[in-house]
Amino acid sequence: MLKLIRACKIYHNSGVCALREVDLTVPRGAYMSITGASGSGKSTLMHVLGLLDTLTDGRYLLGGTDVSALPPCELARLRSERIGFVFQRFQLIPGMTALENTALPLALQGIPRGERQRRAAQALEAVGLSDRLAHKPGQLSGGQQQRVAIARAVVTRPCVLLADEPTAGLDPAAAGDVLSLLDRLHRAGNTIVLITHDRAAAACAAKRLYLENGRLSG
């Protein structure tokens, strides 16, 4: 349901060709990891898959729709409805509680307050944080913050969860917690693309792919 066909990305400001004729199919329910050295194009691939950036050449089909020619407002709508993001640095809003952070994507979709809070509380329970709803990011450990970020990413029930180095800033125990959580989400039916340079993390995925200098191989 996510499909890249001969996808190329050139950053015109630097002249760097970050993706070279990448063919990739991510079926529904897949758990895929993409590894590669720093600078190999991992984040570029995630940004393209997540509709945060566009291709220079090639096609991207999301749920059968060719998104290459869509205007920015349509891309933003699709992104909010279909994509869940998890980043290395959590990207939580410091002044908001765990519950408010998790509910935020639902607010952007215009979902009423009561339902937002109910679904956000459910998502936080699913990541093992029902006793931290009113805590702000600064009152949580790194591992707990990343679990809030994962709750926020799945609260909209996206088509795909895109995680870019989600364990890179964590100690081994917290990283292990995040990986078992991703595994649990996969078993519950979520589609996951895990981008990482950590081989142990990559080994958790059912299918492993490698990026080298913008080229993807299996």
Ligand X SMILES: Nc1ncnc2c1ncn2[C@@H]1O[C@H](COP(=O)(O)OP(=O)(O)O)[C@@H](O)[C@H]1O
Closest separation between CB of residue 179 and ligand X, Å?
19
Q: Which strand (E) or helix (H) includes residue 81?
A: helix 72-82
CA distances to 38, 78, 88, 168 from 137, in Å: 28, 28, 15, 18
Contact track, ligand X, 5-44, x by CB under 6 A: ------x-xx-x-x-----------------x-xxxxxxx
14 interface partner picked from Mg ion, ligand X, none, CB below 5 to 8 A per type: ligand X
63 interface partner picked from ligand X, Mg ion, none, CB below 5 to 8 A per type: none
For Mg ion, how many residues bind (rule: CB under 5 A)?
2
196 CB-side CA count, 13 A:
24
Give the residue from 135, 139, 123 showing the smallest Cα distance to 86. 123
102 or 166: CB nearest Mg ion: 166
**Using a CB cutoff of 8 Å and minimum separation of 24, what contacts does 175-178 make?**
175/143, 175/201, 177/143, 177/147, 178/143, 178/146, 178/147, 178/150
**Contact call for residue 196 and ligand X (CB under 6 A):** no
166 interface partner picked from Mg ion, ligand X, none, CB below 5 to 8 A per type: none
Instruction: Note whether 4 and 62 are within 8 A (CB).
Output: no
18 or 98: CB nearest ligand X: 18
Closest separation between CB of residue 43 and Mg ion, Å?
3
> Which pair of structure tokens corresponds to residue 125?
């329970």
**Contact call for residue 217 and ligand X (CB under 6 A):** no
Rounded to whole angstroms, the Cα distance separating 38 from 113 reads 41
**Contact call for residue 95 and ligand X (CB under 6 A):** no
CA distances to 29, 36, 39, 144, 195 from 213, in Å: 28, 8, 7, 34, 15
> Which pair of structure tokens corresponds to residue 164?
């870019």
**Contact call for residue 196 and Mg ion (CB under 5 A):** no
13 or 71: CB nearest ligand X: 13
| From 33, 35, 40, 43, residue interacting with Mg ion (rule: CB under 5 A) | 43
Which residues would be at the binding site for Mg ion (CB under 5 A)? 42-43
Residues near ligand X, by CB under 6 A: 11, 13-14, 16, 18, 36, 38-44
